[in-house]
Amino acid sequence: MFYIIDILGTISFAISGVLVALNKRMDAFGILIIAFVTATGGGMLRDVLIGDTPVFWMTNMTYVYVILATTISAVIIKRKIDYLKTPMFMFDTIGIGLYTLVGIQKGINLGLHPIICISLGTMSACFGGVLRDILCNQIPVIFRKEVYATACILGGVSFFLLRKLHVDSNFIYLISGVIIITIRLLAVRFKISLPNVYKDDVEEINL
């Protein structure tokens, strides 16, 4: 179950990266790089932090093959994907839900504190998107007021609460992932966002 979630998260983020790169009209090499960075960036940061090196995609070529196949497939069927109202948003949302769980489980396997596990999960889910947006000259979503990392954190908290209730592990993965995805979807649907610390009438500071 854990491995399947990891692969599905890789596919979701790779598609997200492809769609952003296509919107930026990048060439084939650029599309592949953005897809690869989006799919592996969070996992690489996670593995470096916990000392699990070489990082996951260097020791398991399945991830490389999956990203290559996903990138080629997404480019080929782009027109069909475009029928979705917000394809990049949907795949990105699925990706953060799945990768949060992967990061949390990695922390659990090392016996880390739940707070650290949730932090690892959030970084695993968000950092690939941060790198993608930076490379595409966009302000990363996580640094804006949209509910993004918050959904990962709430899903992580739900994960450990369900563990306390001794729920079957497969159901824990399923319920926690659905919670993350649902929070993100509802936040966008109803325009729910974190408080903005800036006021509209803030005067410009002259240096």
Q: What is the pLDDT of residue 106?
A: 93
Instruction: Tell whether 32 is covered by a domain.
Output: yes
The answer as to whether 51 is a domain residue is: yes
- 16, part of any domain: yes
Sequence-distant (6+) residues with CB within 8 A of 130 are: 41, 140, 142, 143
Range of the domain at 67: 2-189
Number of other CB atoms surrounding residue 167 within 10 Å: 15
Q: Is residue 161 part of a domain?
A: yes
- DSSP at 165: T
| pLDDT at residue 183, rounded to an integer | 94
- What pLDDT was estimated at residue 83? 55
Write the pLDDT tens digit of every residue in 5-44. 888 889 888 988 998 898 898 999 999 999 999 999 999 9
* Residue 198 falls inside a structural domain: no
Dist. CA 121–CA 62, nearest whole Å: 21
Evaluate whether residue 202 is within a structural domain: no
> Would residue 203 count as lying in a domain?
no
Give me the pLDDT at residue 42, please.
Answer: 94
The answer to whether position 196 is within a domain reads no
Enter the pTM of the model. 0.83
Answer for the pair 100, 125: CB distance below 8 angstroms, yes or no: yes
Task: Share the mean pLDDT of the chain.
Answer: 86
So what's the pLDDT on residue 197? 61
Q: What is the pLDDT of residues 144-161, one digit of tens each?
A: 766 788 999 999 999 999
What does the alpha-carbon distance between residue 39 and residue 14 come to, in Å, rounded to a whole number?
A: 5
CA–CA separation, 8 and 180 (whole Å)? 15
Tally the domains of the chain.
Answer: 1
The pLDDT value recorded for residue 81 is: 62
Give the chain's residues under pLDDT 50.
84-85, 201-207
